[in-house]
Amino acid sequence: MNSSVVAPDLSDLQSGTVTLIDSRPAPQRLPSPLVLKNQLPLDLRLCAQVAAHRQSVRAILNGEDSRLLVIVGPCSLHDSESALEYAARLANLAFEVSDQMLVVMRAYVEKPRTTVGWKGLAYDPNLDGSDDMAAGLTLSRHLMREMIRLGLPIATELLQPMAAGYFDDLLSWVAIGARTTESQIHRETASGLHMPVGFKNGTDGGVCVACDAIRSAAHAHRHFGMDPHGHPSIIETRGNPDTHIVLRGGHNGPNHDDTSIARVNASLNQQRIAARIMVDCSHANSGKDPLRQPQVFNDVLRQRLAGNRSLIGMMLESHLFAGCQPLSESLRYGVSITDGCLGWDDTESLLRAAVHKLRYR
């Protein structure tokens, strides 16, 4: 049966003003990325520092730097004072171990939610559901800039592509999470970033989606996006060659053991993807027990010391104090309000012991 669509005759429309009835709340405008960057700029010295840190990460990925890349810090930032205290401690430790490790601080201000929950500092900086995102973006950028001033390279997970433009000049490394690695939008965003990007394996533990993401991000794209002035735009990217896989385990358990690493290496080689693997010591790899992260870390370190050069780094969730706490009106200082973390003392001991093994292997 044939069917056709008849275009409306515009001459039949009456002239005059058409009132659209919309009961939704009026949208609240945010500052454009350019406005926020001008309010909280990076000076030339810090710009050069970020560029040097990015190049150091690239050198590790490309096998030109033999140091271990360690992404470490709170599961998420929620309190300025504790975040900066942690950063100051980490900056001192990072300098002491810099001959064997490149330490990058987690500065995560967006959190993916399986259903609902606190979405991160960029969304709800007051921790009360008021969702003052303008204040959240400002506070997030301020904290990141202060961490850079301490000499630290910083990392974050980019969850909302629109938010990337507010922080992209500050970051030395970026994660694309397990829930979004399969997303075309995130792959396109990664293809235009000027820093290395790690794609996590899927929540099922499979690495195929991460491999596909790496290949997609390496290509040039044209996609819908937002320019620095906040205008909807056609974004053209050149492709990002500085990507790699991050193993975080899956529904069937960990994937950091020798057999799993060998399997991932074979998959990468088969698809002609550079074999550079980071292991997330948290999530399914630790059975969601933050205190088991050192076991995972040491197992991966053992494999690296045994000669597996594809293992370029590890990721740890760590805060001033161990564990986590529910969001409430009386929060304990320095304790995560999202995933449980390793405490500072155990983190420091773990990294110092690892550096000793690396120095005297």
**Residue-wise pLDDT tens digits, 227-259:** 999 999 999 999 999 999 999 999 999 999 999
Give residue 25's pLDDT: 81
CB 154 within 8 A of CB 107: yes
pLDDT (tens digit per residue) in 36-54: 999 999 999 999 999 999 9
pLDDT-derived band at 20, boundaries 50, 70, 90: low
pLDDT at 41: 97
Domain extent, residue 225, equals 32-359
Half-sphere CA count of 173, side-chain side, radius 13 A: 33
Compute φ and ψ for 77, nearest 5 degrees. -85, 135
Place of tokens 């040097």: 52
**170 part of a folded domain:** yes
Q: Mind listing the pLDDT tens digit for each residue in 127-157?
A: 999 999 999 999 999 999 999 999 999 999 9
Query: 């995102």: which residue's tokens?
Result: 133
Is the pLDDT confidence value at 8 over 80? no
- At 7 the pLDDT is 52
Rounded to an integer, the average pLDDT of 284-311 is 97
Which of 60-74, 106-120, 285-299 comes out lowest in average pLDDT?
106-120
Side chain identity at 260, as an amino acid letter?
S
Has residue 160 been placed in a domain? yes
pLDDT given for residue 83 in this prediction: 98
Encoded amino acid at 56, one letter: S
CA pair distance 154, 148, nearest whole angstrom: 7
Distance between CA atoms of residues 57 and 50, nearest Å: 11
Q: Is residue 7 part of a domain?
A: no
Can you give the pLDDT at residue 19? Answer: 62
Residues contacting 58, CB < 8 A, separation 6+: 196, 242
Residue 178 lies in a domain: yes
Q: What is the mean pLDDT of residues 91-101?
A: 98
Cα–Cα distance for residue pair 358/361, rounded to 1 Å: 5
Q: Provide the percentage of residues in the chain whose pLDDT is more than 90.
A: 90
> Would residue 254 count as lying in a domain?
yes
Give 143-181 as a 3 state SS string. HHHHHHHCCCCEEEECCCHHHHHHHCCCCCEEEECCCCC
Total tally of structural domains belonging to the chain: 1
- Residue 178 CA, chain-centre distance (Å), reads 11
Q: How confident is the model at residue 9 (pLDDT cuts 50, 70, 90)?
A: low
Average pLDDT of every residue of the chain: 94
Contact by Cβ (8 Å): 106, 74 = yes
Rounded average pLDDT over 181-210? 96
Distance CA 73, CA 341 (A): 9
Does 113 have pLDDT greater than 90? Answer: no
User: Which residue has better confidence, 202 or 24?
Assistant: 202
- Indicate the pTM of the whole model: 0.92
Residue 335 resides in a domain: yes
Is there a domain that residue 12 lies in?
no
- pLDDT tens string 321-346: 999 999 999 999 999 999 999 999 99
**Phi, psi of 323, deg, nearest 5:** 90, -160
Buried b (16+ CB within 10 A) or exposed e, 244-265: bbbbbbbeeebbbeeebbeebe
CA dist 122 and 164 (Å) reads 11
pLDDT in the model for residue 3 = 46
The answer to whether the beta carbons of residues 131 and 118 sit under 8 Å apart is: no
CATH number of residue 153's parent domain: 3.20.20.70
pLDDT at 1: 44
The values of phi and psi at residue 69, to 5°, are -90, 120
237/200 Cα distance (integer angstroms): 22
3-state secondary structure 206-267: CCHHHHHHHHHHCCCEEEEEECCCCCEEEEEECCCCCEEEEECCECCECCCCHHHHHHHHHH
Per-residue model confidence (pLDDT) at position 81: 98
Kindly state the tokens that stand for 243. 């990507």
What pLDDT, on a 0 to 100 scale, did the predictor assign at position 24?
81
Instruction: Look at residues 347, 268, 342 and name the one whose alpha carbon lies nearest to residue 308.
Output: 268
Name which of 342, 276, 314 is nearest 100 in CA terms: 314
Q: Is residue 3 part of a domain?
A: no
Give kind and range of the element (H or E) at residue 317. strand 311-317
Output the CA–CA distances (angstroms, integers) from residue 229 to 132, 185, 225, in the order listed: 20, 20, 11
Let me know the angle formed at the C-alpha of 157 by 152 and 162, rounded to the nearest 5 degrees.
115
